[in-house]
Every structure is written in structure tokens, then in C-alpha cells.
Structure 1
Amino acid sequence: MPDNLADPTFHANPHPSYASWRREGPIRQVRLASGAVVWLITRYDEARRALADPRISKTGGDDRHPSNAVEQALSRHMLAADPPDHTRLRRLVSAAFTARRIEALRPRISDIAEDLLDRFPGTPFDLIDAYAFPLPIQVICELLGIPADDRDAFRAWSDIIVGGVAYQDQFPGAAAAMVGYIQGLLAARRAEPGEDLLSGLIGVRDSGDSLTEDELISMVFLLLLAGHETTVNLIGNGAYLLLSRPERWERLCAEPALIPTAVEEFLRYESPVETATYRITTEEVEIGGCTLPARSPVLIGLLSANHDGDRFDDADDVALDRAHNPHLAFGHGIHYCLGAPLARLEAQIAFTALTRRYPGLRLAVDESELVWRPGLLLRGLFTLPVTPG
């Protein structure tokens, strides 16, 4: 009988289950909340190989036939594609999403962080709502050239879109609203181009090639969703790891030079993306002693792999000064996260400002009262109540 990942106790703390499964083997069948049975890879070596194995595909080698126009508009991004489509899409997007453009954001991200910190109340408040969410959503909105006033709408739509079966009845409406909004943005930017990333994506060309309308909508959707959801969780999860053990918080406040390695440890220990997106085998594949038939659905457990004791010394300890940390939080292979430099930059700036300005920050509730969001894709808290101290 496959293990049931719909169990609420699993989402509250998946680490004991992952540890038990890693001891038993690198891959096993599990049942999702939807009822579907999939193969879940739990160990580091097998996960890293699977992430780079072209036989474990995003499409299964089939042409996709979306059931409606909204689904088609949201499924034409590089995260859902295999080569050669993936190669083409990533090349085109990379031309606009340059390291120089990201590094140029550093002063503005610092200004946003400082402005948010200025608004902290003197009484207990939710750190996610006041800091972890508005920082990355404002950054991605400014990067794309989108009005920040619309961020609450993005939050409502994205919560539904990534919320899995718990929000399945609301998904069509949220997806349609997101597509309609993006179409309006693209029309406005075509009429008045600017220096923003959205204008860059519209105008990008490579050897006469360009993004189609559906590819543009899908790419903006991906950048909006991935550009804030994962970083919200990175900042929120990192703050939780620090504040749940005050000695960690105090050390980082006293040793700010540790912040870059601490951010990598947050990525490893409470990976913002718990499992890589759905894949399917295109042919028979052997993984960890198991033979998976063609057309087998596969999930790659990034969070579990990042706790593999065969790869990481003291894997279940949070080491703020971990010198060598080859975690898989951003994936591996051709689908390695294009936004990783931006996420790292935002998190480093966020914790640098937070530890400097609020060294007395503390949890405002017992750790047992914190609630983790359901679902297997993203790992994050609903709220993180704190007191400024």
C-alpha cells in the first residue's frame, strides 16, 4: 500500500517520514491528496541524477493538448517543456533576464527592505504579511513593470493556483483572472514600451525567433508565481529556523558575515520548493534498484534529498556556517532555476536588514501553533507571528 501524503500530520512535519523512507530506499510509491499514485525519489544521489535524466521528462515525449485556452496560455513556459522547446524558451528568456539586470536591483531591493522595516509596528505582527511577502512581490512587480498596487490580487490568485486539491474548485476562476490580467499588461506595454523586463520579453529576438503570445503569457505567469512564492517561503522559512532557536538568531545578529552561508542553509534545511514539478518516464528507467515502466509519474523530493546524511554531514542540524552546501533547492540540470541569483540576493538583503534593525525580534507564539501550508510543491508557513522586542 503506497504511503498517503494527504495526511495532515505529514505536511505539519514531513521530516520524520522522509528520514524513514530514505532509510528504506531511494524511491517508493506514494499516494497524493488527489488519489494519484506516483514514484517519489527521496535520496540525494538518485534525485540529482533524475533531475538531469532526459528520460524523466516534463511532457513524457507527447505533444500537449491543453483542454482550454486558459490552460494553453499557462502551460507554454520553460518549466513545463523538454528540449528542443525548453532550449529555445530558456535562451530567449535568458536574453532579458540577465545577471547585470539582477545585480542592478541591489540598491532598490535594499530600499524596499528598509521601507518595510520602517513600518513594523511596536506590537506583535505577522512577519510573512509584513516582510516576507511584500518584499519579493514588490521586487518582481518593479522588475516586470507591473503596478505594485495589484500585489494583493496576485497573492489571492497564486494561493489558489499552487494550493492543489484544496482549491481545485476555485482554480479555473483564478487561472482565467490571471491570464486576463497578463493579457492586459502585455497590450499596455506594447503600446508604451519601457525599460522593464516585460518590455524586454516582448521585444526579445534571437536569430529571428521570438516568443509567441501564449509563451509570453505563460512566461510572465511563471515569473510572477516563481518570482515571489518561492522567495516568500525562503525568507519565512529562514526566519522560522532562526527565531525558533533564539541562539541562532543571536548568532546571526552578531555575525552578519554568515548571512550568505545561512541563506544557503535555509534553502537546504526547509527548501521552499519541497518537490520538483511533475515528471513522467518516456521509457523504462532503473532508479535505485527499482525498474519504472514507461509512462510512470515521478516526483523528485528536493527537501528529502537535502536531508540525506550520505551527502550532508549532520544533515538534521542547522549549520549557519556550513561551508560546502551543494543543495538541490534550485534543482539541477537544464531546469535549474533561472531566478536563483535574484532569490539569493533578495534573501541576503532581507536578513542583513532585519538582523541589523531588529536584533530583539522573537516569536510571538509557541512553535507548535505555527501552521504549514498543505501541498507537496511549496514548503512554507501561513503566518509567522513575531514581536519586535
Structure 2
Amino acid sequence: MKCSSIILHLFFLSLTHALVHFGLTRSQFNPLLPFTEHLDQAGEVSLRWGFDQPQDVITFELTVTTTGWVEMGFSPGGDMVGADIVIGGVLANGSTYFMDGHSTGNTVPLVDIQENYIPLALSEADGRTVMKFQRSIQPCDKDDAFISTSHIKVIYAYGGTDEIDYHYTQRGKKELNLLNYSPRTNHSNTSYFEIVANNFTVPAVHTHYYCWIMQLPTLNKKHHIYRIEPVIEHVDLVHHILLYRCSPRINSSFEGTCYSGNLLDLEQCMDVMASWGVGGGVSLPTPENAGIPIGGVLNKSYYRLEIHYNNPALTSGLRFHYTPDLRLHDAAILTTGLVNSARYVIPPNATAFQSYAACSTSLFN
């Protein structure tokens, strides 16, 4: 699909919001939409899409449980700043509206000078609004997001009416790989648990590491973790979260500032089980044929949660989705390099310093 402008009629939905108005017709392009993701936890916002790389076209269908306006976009940081956005909806008289825009901040998006998103269908039924549209995979102008085989932050918002207003909590984001998508297995027998630091107040310092050593919920037999999600009130205020499995020598729970006092030497808790850092996605699935083992003989194990804060009090941690339906393989994280510990010190005033490490690959296969 070549980049081209769409000439549409503008009308004012309200005194302050200009949107694109058009008469929908049956599109001759009817692509299959094989990929589906819920963008929110409650399943109120879902996205279907499909693409044809030789034709340079990608098609989306956004479904939201609302009878008001709906919005979807691509954002470099997961917020409104610099986002490439489309907004649409169905008015009470059955007419429709659609806008290809961009955002410079937490304000009403601006209409793109060149309209490169093509509306295919807009409908409203049974309390849900469906917006189907397509665009070129490659960006057509400076306001269009670049879609590649890497992950991209998909944002959404919606309102209860057709007046474009602040969305409050009716918004969210999800990181997806649109062109290299691996659908998740839908387990029928699943549960989840969270390891979080609730309402932790950070000292008045620029940066702070805090650790909790605890056990996971007791499971009578082996289970597999198949997906891990960060639980963060303010994602821009937490630098990273790590969960380590401890050696059998650790047999009690405690907490404190990492790498100091009782937590000065943490070499007994350095087996990385899960991690999240700035720029990370909102969901980390394991490979389809593998899961991280928990429960059974591992019930007595202790784990260390480490959170690097740059912020005041909030709730942060990780959510683990698990199932008793075991996959073919156990999953784990391979850590290479030297352990960063209090005994690893670069001499002061050194002009050069070399580190050496060895790794036996005799057991690899």
C-alpha cells in the first residue's frame, strides 16, 4: 500500500475537538486478522490485526466495551508524548467519525497534516465499539510511528460518550511485536500470585535498593510459571525489579537495604528467576514449550526480591501466572560474567583492571 493522503470532510464534534468525518462503504480489502491480544487485564479492550509485508499494509481491529469514543496509538515511551494516534466512534444518529493524529503531551491529539490511516469500518452494538483501519507498515510522514519486527508500545484510551474528554483510568498500554508475534497458549487451569512491596516508603535519597527474602506460596506438586508481569503503580519511577532464588543455606525471611547489614553478602541469592527493567514490556511469556518450575520439591526454597527505586511510596513487584499443566521443558535464566559483590573491587586510581571468569560447557546440550 503506497502512502497517500486521504481527503476527508472535517467537522466539529464539539467546540474544541475537530475530527474527520466520513461515510463508510464496504471495503474491497478484507484481510485476515489472525492475531489477537487483550490490551487490558479485564478483557474490555481487545486488538486483532494482520499484515501483508510484500504489499506493505497492516490492518487493525480495535474492540472496546464502550459506546463512546475509542483511541489507539503507538508511543515511544508508553504515554501520550510523541504518540501516533487514531480516534474514532459512532454517534447517536449512526454517523461515524475518525481521526489520524499525533500527540505532543497530555492534551487532545492534533490532526495529522497528511492522513495515512485508512478507516475500513466503525460499528457500535451490544455496548461495544469496533474500529477497523489500516495503514502502511512503513511510516509515511514524521508523525507516523515506525512498525518493525521489534516490540512497540501500543496505547489505548476510551470514553463513555462521544465527547473527547480526559480518559481518567480508561487508558492503558501493552508492548507487542506486531510483525513477529508469538501467540500465547491459553491454559484452562491457571492461577497467579504476586510478590510485591506494598506501600513501601523510600528514604529521601536519589536512588535506593531494597530487598525482601521470602518464600513463594506453597504448592503440593510441581507447577510451571508461563508468564510474568510487572506490578508497578508508576512505571516511570521504578528502575528495575529482580527476583532471585536462594540456596538451601537461606532458611528464613527478612528484609532490608540491599548490599548492607544482613544483606551485605547476597551470593547465596543470585540465581535469577525473573527480571524487569526500564523499557521492559508489560508481559514476559516463557517459550511455548517451557515453564519456570515452582512448587513440589522447591516449596522450601527462599527467594530474594530486589527493587531499585527512584520515587516515594508505592506498590511494586511481579505477578506470576502458573499452571499445573506442565510443559515439555523447565525454563531458567542463564547468567554469565562475574558476580557483583563486596569482594569485587577495582583498586583506586587504577589505570587498567582486568577480570577473568571461566564457564564449563561440558553439561550444555
- Place the TM-score, normalised by the shorter chain, in its bin: under 0.3
Q: TM-score scaled to structure 1, two decimals?
A: 0.22
Q: Which structure's residues are more often helix, by fraction?
A: 1
Q: TM-score scaled to structure 2, two decimals?
A: 0.23
Q: Which has the larger radius of gyration?
A: 2
Higher relative contact order (CA 8 A, sep 6+): 1
Q: Which structure's residues are more often strand, by fraction?
A: 2
